[in-house]
Amino acid sequence: MFHSPVAQLAEQVAVNHWVRGSSPRGGVFFYLRKDSMARRCEICGKGPQSGNKVSKSLNHTKRVWKPNLVKLKTEIAGDTFTVKMCTRCLRSGYIKKKV
């Protein structure tokens, strides 16, 4: 069943939960973590892509192309959320900025 990107975003509003961490000195602490992946558009799912940089002498070295992500505040169903999305989705008008 197809949902619009805004409906998908409203369904997968991030759930916060506590995560156990440790410091180099052996201490233990807990912090609140937001469930969202880094470097990934929350609307279309665009993420980093890897490939090879090719020099003039045809040497190949690994490199990564990262998506152009922006964080913006939007209002969905009366609640304000911060969304990490690519500029292509922003330009397409899937979500409007909260002014």
Specify the pLDDT at position 21: 57
Specify the pLDDT at position 88: 92
pLDDT tens-place values along the chain, 99 residues long = 455 555 555 555 444 445 555 556 665 555 444 555 588 888 888 899 999 999 999 999 999 999 999 999 988 788 888 888 899 989 988 888 887
11 phi/psi in degrees, rounded to 5: -75, -35
Specify the pLDDT at position 16: 44
Specify the pLDDT at position 68: 94
Write down all domains in the chain, each with its CATH number in brackets.
Answer: 5-92 (2.30.170)
Specify the pLDDT at position 32: 44
Please name the amino acid found at residue 55: S
Integer angstrom CA distances of residue 74 from 9, 49, 55, 63, 90 = 11, 27, 43, 33, 11
Distance CA 40, CA 65 (A): 12
Both tokens of 35, joined, read: 């469930």
Eight-state DSSP code of residue 99: -
Task: State the pTM of this model.
Answer: 0.58
Specify the pLDDT at position 26: 60
Specify the pLDDT at position 10: 52
Residue 84 near residue 37 (C-beta atoms within 8 A): no
Distance CA 82, CA 72 (A): 6
